[in-house]
Amino acid sequence: MSFLLNDRSFHGQFATLELFYAAMRAVMRIRRTALAEGHELECHRSVGGRAVTPAHDLFEAVRACAERDQRVAVLQWLSGRGPFWDDAREHSADRWYEALGDVVTDSAVAEAAERIRNGRATDLVSASPSDWLSTPLVVEEVDGAGSRIPTPVENHWTTSTVEARARELRGPIGSWADLEARCRRVSRLVFADDSFAPLGSEPFHRGLAEEILTRVETLGRLTACLTRDGQLSAAGLALQQQFCVGDKAWFTDSSAGEKIDFKDDLTFRDPLRPGERLFCTWHGKVKNRQIRIHYSWPVPAGEVVRVVYVGPKITKR
């Protein structure tokens, strides 16, 4: 599941900066809701140049904001960490897309339609108020002969609909393969090709699968809080305190003795660098049936978290 920030919903409609700030706070609440459900809100790298008032583009307006926390949070997202959907765009810039009577090629509107046609669940998030407050949006690709291929795209401007949509698409997990597919959709994580193979020895249990997915989604939330230098933001430190500290922590490092006794068992192939190995002692815990999720941690600057093992506890004595 992907959510894309509708850049076209910023079109100079705000009469004052205060009205824009109110709308941006609502967008940031929606983003937090999406992250809590395990999904990123992706944006276009050029969204900061969109007009929001008659005198300001988005970045100019944000930099003028007196509320430092809001200013920093928005700039870190839209001009820093992203994620940016145009880094891996699926629609071609030389194809013609229209919606609500406008040409929307090279926008999130066109990208969402193309992803849906490619089989990827993708919705839009729009600023409110704007000219884009309708759902679903019908996006049409117009070919050289003038034929129109319509694609309906769900569009959100409230936290409640984003939360409901994410949960609706989740549904019950029906198999280990279903669990694997859902985990692999969690943003900011890279999974080894065989990371879920060890689960094959375990009888499928829906409750256990839900717990594993919750751990993976939480790891994705923690990873999304990494800064460019590999450190955790303030929000990340709060998540770390909540989930990585204490007797009931979901995520912990292996003990010193386990690192010695199980060194070979805790060393895995690097899914991104063939021939290289990773010593992955950090793991997520599901106490039911003693399931573990091993991943690379800490994360060097510029690197991503690799999930290399999901299955029964390795360090059994």
- Tens digits of residue pLDDT in 100-139: 999 999 999 999 999 888 777 899 999 999 999 999 999 9
Give CA separation, 12 vs 18, 21, 130, in Å: 13, 13, 9
pLDDT score, position 301: 82
Res 26: pLDDT: 96
Task: Enter the pTM of the model.
Answer: 0.59
The alpha carbons of the chain give a radius of gyration, in whole angstroms, of 21
pLDDT for res 66:
87
Tokens 């859902």 -> residue: 182
The confidence score (pLDDT) of residue 218 equals 87
Q: Extract the residue ranges of the chain whose pLDDT is less than 50.
A: none
pLDDT for 147 equals 80
Per DSSP bridges, beta strands 102-103 and 51-53 are unpaired
pLDDT at 14: 98
Share of the chain above pLDDT 70, in %: 99
Task: Note the maximum CA span of the chain.
Answer: 69
**What phi and psi, each to the nearest 5 degrees, are found at residue 70?**
-65, -45
